[in-house]
Amino acid sequence: MLFSINDCYGSPMFDYVGGNLMDNWFLEQARKGNVYHADTATGKEVTTIHATHTGLTIENPYGSGKDLVMESVSFASSTLAAIAELGLGVGPNESTVVSATTTAAVIHNARLSGGDFGLGVAKAYEVATLSSTPVWFEAMGSVRITDAVEGARELTKHLDGTVIVAPGMYICLMALTTARTGLCSATWAEVDVLTEQEIALL
């Protein structure tokens, strides 16, 4: 089966031959230098729902002119502890204020041209006082690694472009009821924000 489509940002994208549409779109964006990866350098405690957040937060500053098209978010447990549910939190509304008291996480351009080279507009934090208390957005899974139960490997939420972090918004990895410690990572593409006129033409 072969057909051509336009991407969600209104430009010819690629011919699709029975594969994953968004995988191909992200590959094309990576070749253009528009895809980024962020991770925590060490195991971090992923806190429960709170404005004082540790773990991993990806923030799109107000007025950036870019949308962050999320590809995936991952967590790999590094400490034996109680069973806990992990998922994604988001800001409840747009904010003109960026997060404060932050500890930056590492960001790499997907072209791997060197550490912290060719960075985009997004900010990645291991520790942050967020502009607002996040709301629970979507579950990733249950971490079940204890002294008695060993069953969880890496938890990965493949968003495949179904979540777009607009300017003034953030997305974070968080626990629902019990904090857990592990390695966190996220992948996204940065593309120009569409105007209302461009959206109407899609």
| Residue 176 belongs to a domain | yes
Structure tokens at 19: 């594969």
| Residue 97 belongs to a domain | yes
Domain range for 156 is: 35-193
Q: How many domains does the chain have?
A: 1
| Residue 17 belongs to a domain | no
Can you give the pLDDT at residue 91? 94
Q: Is 79 exposed, middle or buried (0-12, 13-18, 19+ CB in 10 A)?
A: exposed
Tally Cβ neighbours within 10 Å of residue 41: 10
Q: Which residue has the tokens 């089966």?
A: 1
Radius of gyration over every alpha carbon of the chain, rounded to an integer in angstroms: 17
Q: How far is the CA of 9 from the CAs of 20, 26, 63, 69, 169, in angstroms?
A: 18, 13, 19, 11, 19
Q: What is the spatial distance between Cα 79 and Cα 187, in angstroms, rounded to a whole number?
A: 24
| Residue 21 belongs to a domain | no
Q: What is the spatial distance between Cα 170 and Cα 58, in angstroms, rounded to a whole number?
A: 6
| Residue 81 belongs to a domain | yes
Can you give the pLDDT at residue 85? 87
Can you give the pLDDT at residue 16? 41
| Residue 29 belongs to a domain | no
Can you give the pLDDT at residue 39? 92
Beta strand 44-46 pairing with 180-192: antiparallel
Q: Walk along the chain (202 residues) in steps of 10 and give the mean pLDDT of each run.
A: 35 42 86 93 87 94 96 87 85 92 90 71 95 93 64 80 96 90 94 77 65
| Residue 9 belongs to a domain | no
Whether 82 contacts 123, CB under 8 Å: no
| Residue 139 belongs to a domain | yes
Can you give the pLDDT at residue 56? 95
